[in-house]
C-alpha cells in the first residue's frame, strides 16, 4: 500500500505550433483543462498503471477547480486525505504544448502551500511514501523523517528541482530525478556518473527522456532503454514513471523489472493528451512490455552507457 503526499492542480493546456520565447506571443489552437499536479498524477499512476492500493494526502480550495481533481482521483480508486483550504484557490498550472509534444509549465500552488507536518495521516499499513516538491519543503522533510522512523520506504521525486538539505536526503531511500534535477540536487555540473558519485542516497533513478533511464541501486548499476512510441504530449510522463516504478517496487519487483515496467508506462503516457488522462492501465503497460521485449538490445544500452559516461 502506497501513500502519496503532494500537490493537486487543475491544468490549463493550450496547444501551439511552438513554445513561445521570452517576449514572444504565439497564436494557439486547442484549449482544454485536465486534472494534474505532480502528487495527484503520481497517485493516479500508482493506482491505475501500478494496480496497487493508493492513498493521497492533498490540499484543495473550496472552488470549482477542485471538483475535476477529486473526480479523477476517485475514478482511479485513490483514497483521499483532503485538507480544505477555504482562503486559498485550488492549485493551477498553465501549460503551453507544442506540436512536437514538448511543454512549458507555470504553476500557481494555491492550496498546495497549506500542507503542514501535522497533516500527515497515520502510516500504519503503508510500505512506501511517495513525495515531490510542489508542497512546502518543511512538510516534505517532516513527512520523510516520520516515514523513516516508522520503517516506511521514502521515495522522493525531486521536482521541481531545488537543492536539498542533508536532513531530507538522509531520510530518502529512493531518489527519482531527470538529468537537470540530478545536477541541481547533486550540485554537480559533470556527467551523470559524476553526479551520482556525489549522492549518498541508497537508490537514485535518473530519467533521460527518449534515451531511457538509469539507476544506481545499492551499488549496482541498471540501464533501461526507452520504448519506441510516437509522442503526442509529454505532460505527466515523468509522473507516470514515478508512480509506476513505486508501485512495481512495492509489489516486490526487482529494480530491473520495475524500471522496465515504469519505462513502458511513461512511454504510453506520451501518446495521449493530458496528465492524469494519459496514464495507462496496468494491462496496457504489460502489453507494451511484451510487444517490445527486445527494447534493451546491445546498441541501445551501449548508447545509454555512453550518454551517462559510465565506465
Average pLDDT score over the chain: 93
Higher per-residue pLDDT: 261 or 307? 261
Share of the chain above pLDDT 70, in %: 100
**pLDDT per position as a tens digit, 76-96:** 999 999 999 989 999 999 989
pLDDT at 210 over 90: no
**pLDDT per position as a tens digit, 214-268:** 999 998 999 999 998 988 888 889 999 999 999 999 999 999 999 999 999 999 9
| Secondary structure in 3-state letters for the chain | CEEEECCCEEEEEEEECCCCCCCCCCCEEEEEEEEECHHHHHHHHHHHHCCCCEEEEEEECCCCCHHHHHHHHHHCCCEEEEEECCCCCCEEEEEEEECCCCEEEEEECHHHHHCCHHHCCCCCCCCEEEECCCCCHHHHHHHHHHHHHHCCEEEEECCCCCCCCHHHHCCCCEEEEEHHHHHHHHCCCCCHHHHHHCCCCCEEEEECHHHEEEEEECCEEEEEECCCCCCCCCCCHHHHHHHHHHHHHHCCCCHHHHHHHHHHHHHHHCCCCCCHHHCCCHHHHHHHHHHCCCCCCHHHHHHHHHHHCCC
Of 21-30, 125-134, 167-176, the least confident: 21-30
**pLDDT per position as a tens digit, 276-305:** 889 999 999 999 999 998 898 888 889 889
pLDDT at 61 over 90: yes
Task: Confirm whether 63 is a catalytic residue.
Answer: no
- The angle, 0 to 180 degrees and rounded to 10, between the axes of the packed helices 255-269 and 237-250 is 150
Q: Which residues contact 82 (CB under 8 A, 6 or more apart)?
A: 58, 59, 60, 70
Q: Which residues pair with 103 in a beta bridge?
A: 97
Hey, what's the cell of 188? 554537480
| Domain residue ranges in the chain | 2-308
Higher per-residue pLDDT: 22 or 258? 258
pLDDT at 101 over 80: no
User: Which of 11, 173, 233, 239 is flagged as catalytic?
Assistant: 239
Question: Going edge to edge, which strands form the sheet with 91-98?
Answer: 28-36, 9-16, 91-98, 103-108
pLDDT at 38: 95
pLDDT at 135: 97
pLDDT band at 30 (very low <50, low <70, confident <90, very high): confident
pLDDT at 231: 86
pLDDT at 236: 86
pLDDT at 105: 85
pLDDT band at 149 (very low <50, low <70, confident <90, very high): very high
* Residue 195: half-sphere exposure toward Cβ, Cα within 13 Å: 24
**Which CATH code for domain 2-308?**
3.40.1190.20
Amino acid at each position: 500500500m502506497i501513500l502519496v503526499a503532494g500537490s493537486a492542480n487543475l491544468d490549463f493546456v493550450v496547444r501551439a505550433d511552438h513554445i513561445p520565447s521570452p517576449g514572444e506571443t504565439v497564436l494557439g489552437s486547442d484549449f482544454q483543462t485536465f486534472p494534474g499536479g505532480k502528487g495527484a498524477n503520481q497517485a493516479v499512476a500508482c493506482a491505475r498503471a501500478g494496480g496497487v492500493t493508493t492513498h493521497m494526502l492533498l490540499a484543495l480550495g473550496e472552488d470549482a477547480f477542485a471538483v475535476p481533481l477529486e473526480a479523477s482521483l476517485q475514478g482511479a480508486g485513490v483514497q483521499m486525505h483532503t485538507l480544505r483550504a477555504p482562503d486559498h484557490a485550488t492549485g493551477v498550472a498553465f501549460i503551453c504544448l507544442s506540436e512536437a509534444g514538448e511543454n512549458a509549465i507555470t504553476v500557481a500552488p494555491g492550496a498546495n502551500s497549506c500542507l503542514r507536518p501535522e497533516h500527515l495521516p497515520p502510516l500504519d499499513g503503508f510500505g512506501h511514501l511517495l513525495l515531490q516538491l510542489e508542497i512546502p519543503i518543511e512538510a516534505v522533510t517532516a513527512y520523510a523523517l516520520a516515514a523513516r522512523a516508522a520503517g516506511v520506504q521514502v521515495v522522493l521525486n525531486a521536482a521541481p528541482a531545488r537543492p536539498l538539505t542533508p536532513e531530507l536526503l538522509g531520510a530518502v531511500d529512493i531518489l527519482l530525478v531527470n538529468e537537470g534535477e540530478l545536477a541541481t540536487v547533486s550540485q554537480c555540473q559533470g556527467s551523470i556518473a559524476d553526479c551520482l558519485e556525489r549522492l549518498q542516497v541508497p537508490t537514485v533513478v535518473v530519467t533521460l527522456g527518449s534515451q531511457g533511464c538509469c539507476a544506481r541501486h545499492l551499488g549496482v548499476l541498471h540501464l533501461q532503454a526507452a520504448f519506441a512510441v510516437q509522442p503526442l504530449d509529454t505532460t505527466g510522463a515523468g509522473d507516470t514513471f514515478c508512480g509506476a516504478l513505486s508501485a512495481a517496487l512495492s509489489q516486490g519487483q526487482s529494480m530491473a523489472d520495475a524500471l522496465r515496467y515504469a519505462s513502458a508506462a511513461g512511454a504510453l503516457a506520451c501518446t495521449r493528451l493530458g496528465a492524469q488522462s494519459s496514464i495507462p492501465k496496468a494491462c496496457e503497460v504489460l502489453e507494451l512490455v511484451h510487444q517490445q521485449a527486445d527494447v534493451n538490445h546491445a546498441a541501445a544500452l551501449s548508447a545509454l552507457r555512453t550518454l551517462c559516461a559510465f565506465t
